[in-house]
Structure 1
């Protein structure tokens, strides 16, 4: 039976914060993200999808089981949102934790923040199967190219700026009126030795 607050529509509340929260969509039996403003709202608001499903879905044990090691048998679920979050899942046919890009919503319990928690939850679990092993996603080439280009540009711009500033300082010193390399006659220091009596 569905708890009353799980049937409420999402409510952003009021306030000035922007917090990503999840609400239970009872018509689709899934949890979706929404922006919460930090105050007010209703009880159909959860910190993460796991908490949302466990509190509201009758199907919770098949998505986020209480015994988390049972989720190690699930296939990875990349989700249906537009985010790109690096997570780990356990490939029970090939007995190892692998990286994948999660969209940010509609997942399952076979999703971990880091490889260590994936390994500690799923180590030793094996399922028979002849699924071909999937390649893990590499760091996107666009990010690598962007960082490399930024470093090259910075390595070029910094010396140019430093040299420009130095040359302007030197040229302004040369052009200052009244400055000359010749000692002035009224200067206390004279190039000739003065005999002291």
Structure 2
């Protein structure tokens, strides 16, 4: 292991596991602020220490992981060996699929386990779980997906299939994105989902 690899690994171990703020497992509201702190700092400047090395940091202005030349021995948390590592910790990666509905009653401790899809393993998504965010398996069956208005501001009255009541119901669609549990006509909804659940 290279000396700078060892130094970074040791720093991260002591920082995350011996009392420093963690962007992954922390209580409630402080989770997002700690995530922002980690990803909003710029790479530390220090005296030249050996050959410049290509590293990556998260640029909050462009909202992208970008390369830079690391010339020193000093590390802060917004410095990564690969662009994949940077995206996993700071990039707002959106994985395909939809989150399952958040439970109505929470009986477990309110802990945040992720900040975005990129911090979840494999094809899991970062989903709302009552008072926190957790990595969850995405819904693959469109008929089980919750109604999703999307980010646009139209007020289109479409239909979605409610798996719990086994009925097609009206919902307001914003006009863009959303998920596939979205039908213009009730009959389309019934043909796609209702017959399968009987």
Normalising by structure 1, what TM-score? 0.32
Structure whose CA Rg is larger? 1
Q: Whose helix proportion is higher, 1 or 2?
A: 1
Q: Whose strand proportion is higher, 1 or 2?
A: 2
